[in-house]
Amino acid sequence: MNRTGEYLLVAAGRRAYVEAWEQWVSQPIAPELRFRPMPAPWCRTPIPRGLSRDETIACSSGRAVMTGMTRVLVWSRKEEAGCYPDGSSRTDITKPGDAAGPCSTVAGVRAVFSGHA
């Protein structure tokens, strides 16, 4: 096989990978709020129901300021909004191959724990 053939196979494999990832991240999930009560574990807590997206971010930012803990709203497998103790917030879109939402790794397994704060 020549270099051109190798390049075409790699490009086709990458396209298939990105297409499969796009299909996976497009599946709906229930939005959740994650926080880190200690340096290691990320925990999830319910988000208030009946609020608009902007109101939910404002509420989460308020909690972050009040508790001094960063909060991350996971809107989908692809999009998250970080709410920080200084009152700021930022929305991020993940890159192909990644998933939105911080998590802890325990014995090589990605995990998010249930908690309240």
**Three-state SS for 11?**
helix
Domain with 33 in it: 3-114
In the chain, how many domains are there?
A: 1
Q: Which residues of 9-22 are buried (b: 16+ CB within 10 A; e: fewer)?
A: eeeeeeeeeeeebe
Give the chain's residues under pLDDT 70.
40, 105-107, 109-111, 113-117
Per-residue pLDDT of 104-115, as tens digits, reads 766 676 667 665
- Please state the pTM of the whole predicted model: 0.71
Contacts of 21 (CB under 8 A, 6+ apart): 96, 97
Task: Output the CA angle 78-81-86, nearest 5 degrees.
Answer: 160
Beta bridge partners of 104: 111
